[in-house]
């Protein structure tokens, strides 16, 4: 899942955190990898990725792989790297799922 947040809008980061938590609490989202794009990197006085990560409570999501990437949708900065990382997250998630299924089958 890709979640985009406006890193220049400190006033609405709490709403973003609640929205993310709501989406990820759905049973269908269990274990789905998460990429957070902290958009508007090109502006001054934006939150850095550590601040965005803490505000969104990303470290509390222990049930999934997640990454955060600063980017600028307007200028295209960081987007290529972000989507390369998304591909890696998906591949890693699939491999872990396959290994889990293999162990379940072998243990029965």
Q: Which residues are annotated as a binding site for GTP?
A: 39-42
Sequence-distant (≥ 6) Cβ neighbours of residue 75 within 8 angstroms: 42
Quote the tokens at residue 71: 């980017």
Q: Which residues carry a binding-site annotation?
A: 39-42
Calculate the CA dihedral of residues 98, 22, 74, 38 and round it to 10 degrees: -80
- Give the residue among 41, 44, 47, 42 at the shortest CA–CA distance from 16: 47
Sequence-distant (≥ 6) Cβ neighbours of residue 44 within 8 angstroms: none
């Amino acid at each position: 899942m890709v979640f985009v947040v406006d890193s220049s809008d400190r006033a609405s980061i709490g709403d973003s955190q609640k929205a993310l938590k709501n989406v990820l609490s759905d049973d269908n989202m269990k274990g789905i990898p998460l990429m957070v794009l902290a958009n508007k990197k090109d502006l001054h006085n934006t939150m850095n990725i550590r601040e965005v990560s803490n505000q969104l409570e990303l470290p509390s999501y222990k049930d999934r792989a997640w990454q955060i990437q600063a980017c600028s949708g307007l200028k295209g900065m960081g987007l290529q790297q972000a989507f390369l990382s998304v591909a890696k997250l998906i591949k890693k998630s699939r491999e872990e799922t396959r290994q889990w299924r293999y162990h379940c089958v072998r243990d029965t």
